Chains A and B, each alone.
Chain A
Amino acid sequence: MALKLRKYINGSVKICIKGAMPEKFINLCVAERIYLWGLSKENEDLYAWIELSDFYRIRPLVRKSYTQVTVKGYRGWPFLAKRIWRRKMLVLGAIMCLITIQILASYIWFVDVVGTKATSPLKIAEVAQEYGLKPGVLKDTIQSKRIENAILIAIPEVSWVSVNFTGTRVVIEVVEKTLPKQDDKAPANIVSDRDGIITEMIALAGQPAVKKGDTVRKGDILIKGVAPLIAPVTPEQAAQSAPQIAPVQPVKARGIVKARVWYESYGEAALQQTTTERTGRQETEVLLHFGGYVMALKRAPQPPFELYESEITNKRLPQWRNSQLFVESTIQVYYELQAFPQEISVEQARDEAKARALQSVQQIIPESAQILARNIEILKLNEPNLVRIKVGVETVEDIGISQMISQ
């Protein structure tokens, strides 16, 4: 192994020895302590490997032995070095490339913020930027511990943060605190959300503006967000300032206001109905949009069927860079349909209409509402093919919503 390495470093030459007595040349080499190896003989020509440094020493031996020596090949570092030197620009380019990659890789290119929910990632990135963490900064100058601490101090919502490098990308991982919901202390009235008749009025804070049995409209104030100021009152002062209106202090009104609310809705169903079904026959149309042009690869007859529905599939090249080249293919499939007329009984139609009416009313009624009564009415009209249903629902529900007092 060591020998092979030495041969490689020194370089070796394959020579061809021609002449009447190549053996003499070999013996002379041996006598001169010139190392030969890999000798072979092909048609009177003797091939041998010789070290490059020895190659310059064999000239007198060649003369003495009356042979001719020609070089057939070479191997080893000196020859490789020569070739490299001949193409030094290539090597220089490779080295420059490596250096450039190394330099570019030592900068930060991207800053990502992960794990934010309530706080904006921009805000965290801004704090990081203040401490020098931004795209285009050398990686070595970043002290991630210091930035972590800075973010923790600057943004109180953050309970844990870590700054990690993954290549040229910096990932700021954030875990937020779950803060208790802050009560809005701003003064507010409770106003009505719907029309109704008040059935219950419990004011926890503020002054009730309506009483049980009153009819309210949407937007009416139910509980006023004011509280009387209780000043230290002495009997003399009370006597003096009796006619004065008690000063008030705005508060946030709280309370439960329940009211009876009516809902109405309507549904209808026809006795004669038609349903459609796909027959299985279909036509396909393939269009290719190229810039502003449209090219039809396959056309379908227009209209394809007497009764049909169609499905359109758009295939588009990914938006590449800011390329304006716009290629899109549209595949439109037309399915033939068949109509099936159907007749249903009056009872079935009534159920259907009722279900529709109830479904539409259910969407308006809040979930917390308590349903008191449901009134279903069939509208008698002189239409043989139609059943109309009107549904009235009566509920009791909390109709108060908080509304800020604008100052």
Chain B
Amino acid sequence: MQRRQKGILQNIAQRLDIPQDIVLDLPRITMLGNKQLLIENHKGIIEYTSSLVRVKLNQGELYVHGHNLLLGNLQTEQILIEGTIAEVKYGT
């Protein structure tokens, strides 16, 4: 039922040309080279070290590997990860 609803919503969003992240409550991940990574619409931090940041998302979590990682900005809506990013990975 939920899957079907999602499919319909996605269909409508595509047709009406509405950004899907708003309709489907998806995270928007913006990367600036390997220096900055901005995650909007996150659900909190699971783990943070200087080499790994795990961010909880709506579906699963996001692994960010790298070194000298800093959280430049931490708000309800967004997380800004700074440093040298080596790998971004989705995990469920």
Contacts and interface: CB of A to CB of B under 8 A. Distances in A.
Contacts of A23: 45-48
A46 B69 CA distance: 12
19 contacts: A23-B46, A23-B47, A26-B45, A26-B71, A27-B44, A27-B45, A30-B44, A30-B74, A30-B76, A31-B76, A37-B71, A37-B72, A39-B48, A39-B70, A40-B70, A40-B71, A41-B49, A48-B71, A48-B74
A312 to B, nearest CB: 76
Contact of A42 (B45, B50, B73, B74): B50
Interface of B: 44-50, 69-76
A36 to B, nearest CB: 4
Contacts of A37: 71-74
A46 B48 contact: yes
A31 B47 CA distance: 16
Interface string A5-39: 00000000000000000110011011101011111
A81 B75 CA distance: 29
Nearest to A43: B50
Nearest to B81: A39
A35 B71 CA distance: 12
B50 A40 contact: yes
A22 B74 contact: no
Contacts of A42: 50
Most buried by B among A23, A36, A38: A23
A42 B76 CA distance: 24
Contacts of A26: 44-45, 48, 71, 74
Nearest to B43: A27
Contacts of A48: 71, 74
Interface residues of A, number: 18
Contacts of B69: 41
Instruction: Classify the secondary structure of B's interface with A.
Output: strand
A41 B48 contact: yes
A31 B56 CA distance: 14
List 7 A-B pairs, minimum CB-CB distance, nearest first: A39-B71, A27-B44, A36-B74, A40-B70, A23-B45, A41-B50, A37-B73
Contacts of B49: 41
Contacts of A38: 70-72
Given A26-B48, A33-B76, 15 more contacts: A22-B48, A23-B45, A26-B45, A26-B71, A27-B44, A30-B44, A30-B74, A31-B76, A35-B74, A37-B73, A39-B71, A39-B72, A40-B70, A40-B71, A41-B69
Nearest to B80: A37
Most buried by A among B49, B74, B76: B74
Interface in A101-138: none
A39 B69 CA distance: 9
Contacts of A41: 48-50, 69
Nearest to B56: A27
A30 to B, nearest CB: 5
A37 B69 CA distance: 13
Contacts of B45: 23, 26-27, 30
B63 to A, nearest CB: 14
B66 to A, nearest CB: 13
Contacts of B72: 37-39
A205 B45 CA distance: 122
Contacts of B47: 23
A39 B45 CA distance: 12
Contacts of B50: 40-42
Interface string A55-68: 00000000000000
Contacts of B74: 26, 29-30, 35-37, 39, 48
Contacts of B71: 26, 36-40, 48
Contacts of B76: 30-31, 33
